[in-house]
């Protein structure tokens, strides 16, 4: 994986917590920070996809695709968040298009 250096300003307390946790896990700060960013990015993607699904703007299949999850994993997330499942003819057509193309 190609990488690029970025910098970010964080509160001193957060930086200290990162240092302490990196020491506990025997990680370098960079490795831990990368793990935090990737984990956080996944959660943000999931939340965004769930929000769009709940608003009825995308299908469950598309939400799963956006979040990088399987359809079954996304169904579990929808259930955990107690989001009502919406599925109509247009959703079915969209899912068929996504699966089979065209």
Spell out the domain ranges in the chain.
Answer: 12-100
Q: Which residues contact 86 (CB under 8 A, 6 or more apart)?
A: 53, 56
Q: What is the pLDDT of residues 59-85, one digit of tens each?
A: 888 999 999 999 899 999 999 999 988
CA atoms within 13 A on the CB side of 32: 16
Please tell me the predicted confidence (pLDDT) of residue 84: 85
Return the higher-pLDDT residue of 100 and 39.
39
Q: Is the pTM of this model over 0.75?
A: no
């Amino acid at each position: 994986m190609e990488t690029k250096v970025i910098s970010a300003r964080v509160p001193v307390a957060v930086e200290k917590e990162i240092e302490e946790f990196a020491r506990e896990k025997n990680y370098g700060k960079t490795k831990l920070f990368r793990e935090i960013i990737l984990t956080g990015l996944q959660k943000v993607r999931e939340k965004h996809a769930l929000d769009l699904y709940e608003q009825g703007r995308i299908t469950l299949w598309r939400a799963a695709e956006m979040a990088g999850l399987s359809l079954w994993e996304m169904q579990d997330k929808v259930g955990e968040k107690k989001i009502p499942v919406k599925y109509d003819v247009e959703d079915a057509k969209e899912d068929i298009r996504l699966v089979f193309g065209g």
